[in-house]
Chains A and B, each alone.
Chain A
Amino acid sequence: MTTLIADTSTVFSRELRPLLRDPFTIIFSMVQPLVFLALFTPLLPDDDGNALQWFVPGIIVMSCLFACSMTGSNLLFEIQTGSHERMLVTPLRRPALLIGRALKEIVPMFAQAALIVVVCLPFGFRFNLPGAVIGLVILAAFCIGLGALSYTLALASKNQEWLFWTVQQTLLFPLLLLAGVLLPIENGPGWLRALAAGNPLSYVVEAERSLFNGDIWTSSTLGGIIAAAAVAAIGLLVGVRAMRRSD
């Protein structure tokens, strides 16, 4: 008999295999945020020499966010060719289909996170290892939820591919900007801050920053855990329901 973990590992390793056979695409996508970091960091106000300290966790969140919101895009093609249908008829647990596919997007991003951290060390970036690990686990939970929503979106737009890209792009940028990933929200107008307070990603980003700094036992960490767990739970619930309904 299988378990949820075994099922997830089956889906995950199936998804990852073509990438491992053709690692060039991973290497290429890893360099992208480094370019971003190099061009964007000098623009940040750096009064106390803390720009990297503030910006690096944000960049890590951003690249994970981009990656897991694409979970559904590979799925779209497999829905059209028939291999998704074939997997739905297997006894694979439905959450495993969602989690395995999201993990395939996230795991390369974690390798990327490590690369970003290493590159930033010579420029004065400092981080706390246990804090960073906890931070990445929280981020993974958030991304599984978002990946599951991306999966659901692909199921909903199986006959009209443009719908997937339109919705994905339309939602991704507000989500990102309203979480204070690129620029701080604190100085924004009240309505913006109110919107940010309703954005679960805000709490995750805030938790990442304090965790990377080594502030582990804080309310930010708790806020991040709650927000990530809520998104994961909602994403999986919605995703499993969508799979049952799809026809």
Chain B
Amino acid sequence: MIETRGLTKHFKDVHAVDGIDLTVRAGELVALLGPNGAGKSTTLRMLTTLIPPTAGTATVAGFDVVRRQREVRLRIGYIGQGNGAGHSQRGRDELISQGRAYGMSTRDSRQRAAELIESLGLAEVADRRVSTLSGGQRRRLDIAMGLIHSPGLLFLDEPSTGLDPQNRANLQEHILALRARHETTIVLTTHYLDEADSMAERVIVIDHGRIIADDTPQRLKDTHVGDRIVLGFLHESDAAGAAAVLRTERKGTQVRLGLPNAPRRAPGILDDLRTAGYPAAEIEVIRPTLDDVFLQLTGRSLREGGVDKELVEV
């Protein structure tokens, strides 16, 4: 569905996207994860023909994004960061004119608009001015606009930014349902870790315009961070004994251990330690998050809102 080679975008001196090689097969759900300014949106804007690359090539839905823009546009849906529907318009009108923009007849557009209004729960607000809609309603309307022509490939740029947790969950459900029903290929960008974690089968971590990791969320976590357990003991002597048995370090009455597949193996460890005469008083199993993965890969946390640690310290 998507094939890029050395895709690059420079804005004056800023290397927004710096040589991205990316292959997305039909039916995949891919999340581009990274801090603000990492180059996710710029990548998406090149793939959706909004801006031409400085260098490199990209083929989307079988067509080159520079030379065959129209063919690409006909085959993709795009839901940008802003509101697709004009604020002075009414939702239903916008859906119908969006259908006509894709070459559908007015009759088909009207029918498809009615279906989407129904399935996205917009029946009550579809005939009101867009400016009177709530943020969540507008976002659902944007989704409807992106789906009017039933595209096989859908791009979503930060779909849930600015939504409250309930609306975010609701939106994620809609996207997953869409995929289950129509096997749409979906590429979304996000800086919400839980969103990438819970929705995508494949997470591509982008930083400074480059892909720094690309795998399933689980394998990213296993490969780059892995599970850990923290054991607490009543006496330092017990902790020291346990550290020796487990061949790891001790810190006060605590012992930490990297342990793949920790939830299944932790009870066995507790048994072993009791048998060896160093019973643990408490145990904590720590599973890595994608933030831990990002921290491991870049030395920075995504949760800091993408602020460079180096920059903060200077």
Q: Contact residues of A with B, CB < 8 Å?
A: 1-2, 6-7, 10, 13-14, 17-18, 21, 77-78, 80-83, 85-92, 244-247
Contact = CB atoms under 8 A, between A and B. Distances in A.
Contacts of B103: 1-2, 6, 91
Given A14-B97, A247-B45, A82 B81 contact: yes
B98 interface: yes
Contact of A244 (B52, B84, B145): B52
Contacts of B85: 83, 86
A247 B10 CA distance: 11
B82 A90 contact: no
Interface residues of B, number: 33
A17 to B, nearest CB: 6
B50 interface: yes
Given A82-B84, A90-B102, 4 more contacts: A82-B83, A86-B80, A91-B74, A247-B50
Interface of B: 11, 45, 48-52, 70, 73-74, 76, 78, 80-90, 93-94, 97-98, 100-103, 142, 145
Given A17-B93, A18-B89, A247-B51, A90 B98 contact: yes
A10 B87 contact: no
A28 B73 CA distance: 40
Contacts, number: 82
Contact of B80 (A2, A21, A85): A85
Contacts of A21: 90
Contact of B73 (A1, A80, A89, A246): A89
A45 B220 CA distance: 84
A81 B82 contact: yes
B70 A13 contact: no
Contacts of B52: 244-245
B271 to A, nearest CB: 58
A21 B88 CA distance: 10
Nearest to B16: A247
Nearest to A88: B50
A91 B102 contact: yes
A77 B89 CA distance: 13
- Residue with the greatest number of chain B CB neighbours at <10 A, chosen from A18, A78, A80, A90: A90
B84 A18 contact: no
A62 to B, nearest CB: 26
Contact of A90 (B73, B87, B88): B73
A86 B145 contact: yes
B82 A91 contact: no
A78 B145 CA distance: 15
Contact of A10 (B70, B83, B97): B97
A18 B88 contact: yes
B100 to A, nearest CB: 5
Contacts of B94: 14, 83
Contacts of A245: 52
Contact of B82 (A6, A10, A82, A92): A82
8 contacts: A1-B103, A17-B90, A21-B90, A81-B86, A83-B85, A86-B78, A90-B98, A247-B11
Contacts of A85: 50, 80, 82, 84
Contact of B50 (A1, A2, A13, A89): A89
A77 B87 contact: yes
A109 to B, nearest CB: 20
A77 B45 CA distance: 20
A81 B87 contact: yes
A245 B145 CA distance: 25
B217 to A, nearest CB: 28
Contacts of B11: 247
A80 B82 CA distance: 8
A87 B80 CA distance: 11
B139 to A, nearest CB: 11
Interchain residue pairs A-B with the least CB separation, the first 3: A82-B82, A86-B84, A90-B101
